[in-house]
Structure 1
Amino acid sequence: MLGVSRDGDVVVLELQREERRNALNLDLCRAIDEAARDAVGDGPANGGARAIVITGQGTAFCSGADLGGVYGDEFLEALYGMLHGLTRLPVPIVAAVNGPAIGAGTQLAIACDLRVADERAKFGVPTARNGMAVDAWTIRTLAALSGTGPARRMMLAGELIDRDEALGHGLVDKPGTLDDALAWAHEIATLAPLTLAYNKRVLNGLDDDATIEQGFRDVWASEDVREAATARTEKRTPVFRGR
């Protein structure tokens, strides 16, 4: 149902319900949430992953919520607990969108921090076509990433947008395959973990002003700041520890 592999500082989560085009059900939502939290562990300083890549098996990233599954509060809690949990993890998450990402598939993609998509990718949240609804976070995040025009077409007209349009509007960050997403994740994994965690929390609006200020000061007081200064003096690439 979910493949988990590690390559150095990068953990890859692969949705493996190819027969259902990787549609999300209760068990898969819970598996993604648990695997992502396990990948981070106690943080990069203690051996946790420094970046995560999420992709789908076969020709679809994720076709949405499994319409053959059981709906209700339990599923919704698992789905949104997983999605919002990804936004709170302290490491960058890259979605390798290897095909259609529809409904909950688009939600999963925008819960990640960055998106790399191949030419088969499509995005949309066609709740108006099935009488369902998504939470306000989904609609606002979609609008923030893609712009209000494309978001309105997706949410109010039930339209899908392809990879190139998504790339033009900023919903997709880079064109490419899983290999491209992995290469980018490995580059990101060499950056300063505390800075990345702080930047992500500010970008995602997770903290109040006092907590943001403390996080800012913690970064400046870190060993990694001193390591960067030493590396500049020694004319070498810094090795960040997340401390």
Structure 2
Amino acid sequence: MAVHVRVGDDRVGTIELDRPERRNALNVETCEGIVAAVEQVRAERARAVVVTGSGTSFCSGADFGEVYGEHFTTALYAALQAVFTLPVPVVAAVNGPAIGGGTQLAIACDLRVAAEGARFAVPTARLGVAVDPWTIRRLEQLAGGALARSVLIGCETVGPELAHARGLVDRLGSPADAHAWAAELAGLAPLTLAYNKQVLDRVDLPASDPVLTGAFAACWSSADLAEGRAARAEKRAPAFEGR
């Protein structure tokens, strides 16, 4: 299988690309595997998810044996949106190069932890291809306009330290560090996290949008709110259930 998925006792789901002989390059099968993996972690009620690659690469981008086919483009953007729209925190454990589609996959996640060998690049101008407007705006949102222009127009490759300094990477560390962070996030209030994600990711919507106001109201009327209040009074860790 090109993608492995599991949900541990800590309620963290792991989605791992497993094509090390191709440096985890994305083909149609892998993209469809990501969509299926997302469905599985949803079904198993994971409270946080880690996305990573096997071996020494996170994802080397599109498999050039398939990249020029229309079916591949459809499969790629379905995979990216599946990850992006997960209602729980998604942490990219960038264990090595994340090139092209690899950078796209990393920025579809909420947070990124980069290991020493991580690299980010979107060299579309060297190939005569293009990424969709969502990718460009998402990169700009996370890393700022200057770094986005350096990557997209200057075709620069960015290492972990610069990526961290500019906000593209949230923490420097190993996949184990990424998993530990995800386990911590899995213990937080799910409704609040889902609401925060909606507001951050749907910047095109007004504050009065019913989707956002409904999610806001749900946080303030939830059993988790009562649990958080009780846990604080009783000086114990809260046990949130997402309701």
**Counterpart residue number, 2:184:** 187
SS at structure 2 position matched to 1:137: helix
C-alpha distance in structure 1 between counterparts of 2:181 and 2:18, whole Å? 23
Deviations 1:44-92 (A, max 9, x none): xxx5000110111111100000012253222111111111121111111
Deviations 1:135-163 (A, max 9, x none): 00101111111111111111112111111
**Counterpart residue number, 1:13:** 15
C-alpha distance in structure 1 between counterparts of 2:108 and 2:58, whole Å? 14
Deviations 1:200-243 (A, max 9, x none): 11111076612101110011111000111111121111100011
Specify the code of the residue in structure 1 equivalent to 2:97. Answer: P
Residues 1:50 and 2:51 aligned together: no
**Counterpart residue number, 2:240:** 240
Q: Of 24, 30, 39, which aligns to 1:28?
A: 30
Deviations 1:155-198 (A, max 9, x none): 11211111100000000000001100010000000000111111
Specify the code of the residue in structure 2 equivalent to 1:86. Answer: V
Are the equivalent residues in 1 in contact too, given 2:96–2:118 (CA < 8 A)?
Answer: yes
Identical-pair percentage: 53
Residues 1:100 and 2:67 aligned together: no
**Counterpart residue number, 1:3:** 4
Q: Of 187, 199, 202, which aligns to 1:202?
A: 199
Task: Report runs of 4+ in structure 1 exceeding 3 Å deviation.
Answer: none
Specify the code of the residue in structure 2 equivalent to 1:108. Answer: L
User: Unaligned 5+ residue runs, structure 2?
Assistant: none
Deviations 1:23-43 (A, max 9, x none): 0000100101111122012xx
C-alpha distance in structure 1 between counterparts of 2:156 and 2:229, whole Å? 50
User: Unaligned 5+ residue runs, structure 1?
Assistant: 42-46
**RMSD of aligned alpha carbons:** 1.2
C-alpha distance in structure 2 between counterparts of 1:119 and 1:18, whole Å? 18
Residues 1:227 and 2:227 aligned together: yes
Q: Where does 1:102-141 land on structure 2 (aligned, <5 Å)?
A: 102-141=99-138
Residues 1:40 and 2:42 aligned together: yes
Q: What TM-score does the superposition give when structure 2 sets the normalisation length? A: 0.95
SS at structure 2 position matched to 1:5: strand
SS at structure 2 position matched to 1:14: strand
**Counterpart residue number, 1:175:** 172
Q: What TM-score does the superposition give when structure 1 sets the normalisation length? A: 0.95
Does 206-215 or 169-178 show the bigger shift?
Answer: 206-215
Specify the code of the residue in structure 1 equivalent to 2:210. Answer: A
Total equivalences in the alignment: 238
**Counterpart residue number, 2:61:** 64
Residues 1:143 and 2:111 aligned together: no
C-alpha distance in structure 1 between counterparts of 2:168 and 2:28, whole Å? 26
Residues 1:88 and 2:90 aligned together: no
C-alpha distance in structure 1 between counterparts of 2:181 and 2:67, whole Å? 37
C-alpha distance in structure 1 between counterparts of 2:16 and 2:36, whole Å? 13
